[in-house]
A and B are shown apart, each in its own frame.
Chain A
Amino acid sequence: MSDRFSRRDLLHTAARGTVLATLGGGAGFLVKKAHGQVVWQVDSARCLNSRLGEVGVAACNLCTTECVVALSAVRAVNDHARCGRCNICPAYFNITSAVDERGLPSEKLCPRDAITRRPIGKADPEDPANNFYEYLIDEEKCDGCGKCVMQCKEPLGLGSIVLRIRYDRCVDCNRCSISRACPKDAFVRVPAGQALP
């Protein structure tokens, strides 16, 4: 047997490590919850990207740039119960980009192409506007940059997309870099039992 590490071995090890880290993180969160400990959370009412009244400003991406975890322990989630299922979603499309032959914006907003758009039910070929659309965020791609959150905010959108912590990734630093950098003090400690998934 060769003692060389094959590419397959490497991938297996990496995958196993990821799974264990995920399980470990999730298990750690459950332990904290059981013991009534506190965890970090993004307060949407304070976050620059989601708080009402902050219009005409650039999205804040400090959750991406400050987090010590790869890809960031923060990601965007879409509350489908609040989502308008719009034909033209400002969080999906760059709504100021050129309009294509279908009448839709030609560019997407997400720099990591983490959001997918698909019609709910059978799309009307005669009139694509005659449909509801579902917007799904791929957590493996999302780095929590907040652009979609800013565009989904009222009054442009309905505020269904917000930033949340990935508790399976967050390493729960005592002096969290994001919390120290956040200009709105939106990175807060809450009892684990009150943490939003």
Chain B
Amino acid sequence: MQYRQIAVIGGKGPGPGQFGAALRGIAVDAAGNLYAANDAQITVFDASGRLRRRWSTAQPVHAVAVAGDGAVYTGQIHQIEVFDATGKLVRTWRDDALLGRVTAIGFVNGDVLAGDATGRAIRRFDSQGKFRNNIGRDNPLNGLLIPNGVVDFGVDAHGIVHAANPGKHRVERYTPDGELLGHIGHFHGTDPAGFGGCCNPTNVAAGDRIYVTEKAGPRAKAYSFNGDLEAVIASDIFDANCKNMTIAVDRRGRVYVADTVKLSIFVFEQVAG
């Protein structure tokens, strides 16, 4: 399986549709609109990469996700700000204990999942913000091994949570209740099928397969749910100093990767045949 790059969105700069100093998260909604969590704002592009709107968040934003109803959830320090699709603030969830630094957000069965890098776990809340359970915390290390400093995960169509555990060189599968079902991945310093370095993969997305990014050297890859490497989507185009590159996939199977140094979002699609 092969992928080709079809677009680059954003870039570093002061212009409209560009990012100032940080690009920490991306998400794609059902219509194919692309949301970027950059600096202390959310920037929205349409499916063709044209800037649609942007709005400010209360703090620097570390993650963004779009719920089925179009609500935009943004991860910050000790809080999640929820906006409607136009960027109007709907509500703020604040929890100093359970929301440290929120570096990923997802949804499962009507609940909200928040990746808390401070607590090294995924926090599951109901739709009203009431805490239900942790995911990835019930182990001898009391959490995910994240020397890279972010918790990231994806939720597949069956409601299984695929969480990066970079210190173990694995992507772990959990039920929403937090039961560990298994994992894919292993360390290997030279084989592309393995995860190299001290701690990879750093970021995960789940769609028709599992997508990951790695740091040092940065690359994006696709795996089957059984853990077979299906494609190295890209490597050389990313800045060598990149780390924690958020990855997202849309309904058409297009893959979006946020280069955290170039502050660009690279878009890839599968080559037919």
Contact = CB atoms under 8 A, between A and B. Distances in A.
Interface string A85-124: 1111110000111010001110000000000000000001
Contacts of B147: 84-86, 157-158
Contacts of A87: 145, 167-169
Interface residues of A, number: 28
B140 A90 contact: no
B166 to A, nearest CB: 9
Given A88-B187, A95-B197, A130-B140, A55 B168 contact: no
29 contacts: A53-B241, A55-B216, A55-B240, A86-B145, A86-B147, A86-B167, A86-B198, A87-B169, A88-B187, A88-B198, A90-B197, A95-B196, A96-B190, A99-B194, A103-B186, A103-B187, A104-B187, A105-B189, A129-B145, A129-B168, A130-B139, A130-B140, A130-B141, A155-B218, A155-B241, A155-B242, A155-B243, A156-B197, A157-B147
A56 interface: yes
4 smallest CB-CB distances across A and B, nearest first, come from: A84-B147, A156-B216, A155-B243, A96-B189
Size range of the chain B interface in the assembly = 20 to 34
Contacts of B167: 84, 86-87, 129
Nearest to B139: A130
B121 to A, nearest CB: 15
A154 interface: yes
A183 B243 CA distance: 27
Contacts of A55: 216, 240-241
Interface string B132-162: 0000000111000101000000000000000
A196 B113 CA distance: 43
B188 interface: yes
A52 interface: yes
A131 interface: yes
Contacts of A97: 189
A154 B189 contact: no
A83 to B, nearest CB: 9
Nearest to A83: B147
B240 A56 contact: yes
A89 B243 contact: no
Contacts of B140: 124, 130-131
Contacts of A124: 140
A91 to B, nearest CB: 9
Contacts of A52: 241
Interface in A130-152: 130-132
A161 to B, nearest CB: 12
B198 A84 contact: yes
Contacts of A157: 147, 198
B199 interface: yes
Contacts of B101: none
A152 to B, nearest CB: 9
A115 B197 CA distance: 18
A55 B197 CA distance: 13
